């Protein structure tokens, strides 16, 4: 990931955008090649409809991490899915995030634990964090 | 509306939030008490699900314009619906808005025209702007 030297207002804007219509989540995938048959995949995504395509692309122009994807339903996504990129990105956004503050903290913890030896204890704890994150994202209360 | 002295990062955050999950729109209502039987109502709304209620309220704490509303489906809204409040608010957000830049410009123009004498020519032009804004908001292309 590049050395991040975004301006304070750029970071504040990105925090607002992520709070408004982004997502911080960890997918729990079944995978037989993994030690505990499950894999926890952290992800940060920004969404936008096609109508603002050019400006949406412009926002992430300076980034050399993450990538754009166009979904079949026409939505555009900017996806950051490399663990250390997510960690660095969320760390610099942290002072500005308001609505997804809990999700951000849990994600940072998930990544910190993923860096540790993959013991059953660490994995189970991380699984509980990933489930907590999922609940935060999908619960309405 | 209060004299706005929000910090640059606060404004940038609000611009990101509005770009991400907000709306700048003008409702066209049938009203028999209006000169041309139609009324154009400008509005700026921020949306959020209930789960982030406390922090959502916190964001707008310094504002003495606009109000909170909870919809029947559980969504929270922060609504700014007074013409001059919208104008002042969008004017200070303008340097930071990226995705809804077109909507913002059209809305400022609608309000500028609403300040002029309510001639048929002015009204018709404003109606065309309100329709343009609607198309921008609902079109996917």
Query: Are B20 and A15 an interchain contact pair (Cβ–Cβ within 8 Å)?
Result: no
Which has the higher per-residue pLDDT, A44 or A33? A44
Q: A3 falls in which pLDDT band (50, 70, 90)?
A: low
**Structural domain includes residue B76:** yes
pLDDT at residue B53, rounded to an integer: 87
Domain harbouring A127, CATH code: 3.10.28.10
pLDDT at residue B141, rounded to an integer: 45
Which has the higher per-residue pLDDT, A74 or B99? B99
- The Cα A75–Cα A22 span in angstroms is 13
Closest C-alpha to A127, from A20, A36, A60, A18? A36
**Structural domain includes residue B14:** yes
3-state secondary structure of B133: helix
Using the predicted structure, report yes or no on whether residue A4 has a pLDDT greater than 90. Answer: no
DSSP state, B33? T
**Structural domain includes residue B71:** yes
DSSP state, B2? P
Closest chain A CA to residue B58: A98
**Structural domain includes residue B2:** no
Mean pLDDT over all residues of chain A? Answer: 91
Give yes or no for B32 touching A (CB within 8 A).
no
Question: A26, A44 in Cβ contact below 8 A?
Answer: no
**Structural domain includes residue A3:** no
Average pLDDT over residues A1-5: 62
Number of domains into which chain B is organized: 1
Question: What is the domain range of residue A99?
Answer: 8-138
**Structural domain includes residue A2:** no
**Structural domain includes residue A43:** yes
Question: Which chain A residues are closer than 8 Å to B13 by Cβ?
Answer: 12-13, 15-16, 19, 96, 98
Query: Are A140 and B74 an interchain contact pair (Cβ–Cβ within 8 Å)?
Result: yes
Average pLDDT over residues A52-65: 90
pLDDT, one tens digit per residue, over B105-115 is 999 999 999 99
pLDDT, one tens digit per residue, over B43-57 is 999 998 877 889 999
**Structural domain includes residue B107:** yes
SS3 of chain A: the string is CCCCCCCHHHHHHHHHHHHHHEEEEEEEEECCCCCCCEEEEEEEEEEECHHHHHHHHHHCCCCCCCEEEECCCCCEEEEECCHHHHHHHHHHHCCCCCCCHHHHHHHHHHHHHHCCCCCHHHHHHHHHHHHHHHHHHHCCC
Give yes or no for A48 touching B (CB within 8 A).
yes
């Amino acid at each position: 990931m590049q050395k991040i030297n975004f301006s304070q207002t750029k970071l504040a804007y990105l925090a607002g955008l992520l709070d408004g219509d982004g997502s911080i989540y960890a997918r729990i995938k079944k995978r037989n090649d993994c030690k505990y048959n499950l894999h926890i995949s952290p992800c940060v995504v920004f969404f936008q409809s096609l109508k603002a395509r050019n400006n949406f692309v412009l926002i992430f122009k300076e980034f050399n991490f993450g990538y754009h994807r166009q979904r079949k339903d026409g939505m555009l996504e900017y996806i950051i899915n490399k663990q250390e990129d997510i960690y660095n990105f969320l760390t610099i956004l942290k002072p500005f995030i308001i609505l997804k503050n809990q999700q951000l903290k849990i994600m940072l913890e998930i990544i910190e634990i993923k860096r540790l030896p993959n013991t059953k204890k660490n994995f189970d704890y991380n699984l509980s964090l990933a489930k907590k994150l999922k609940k935060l994202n999908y619960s309405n209360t």
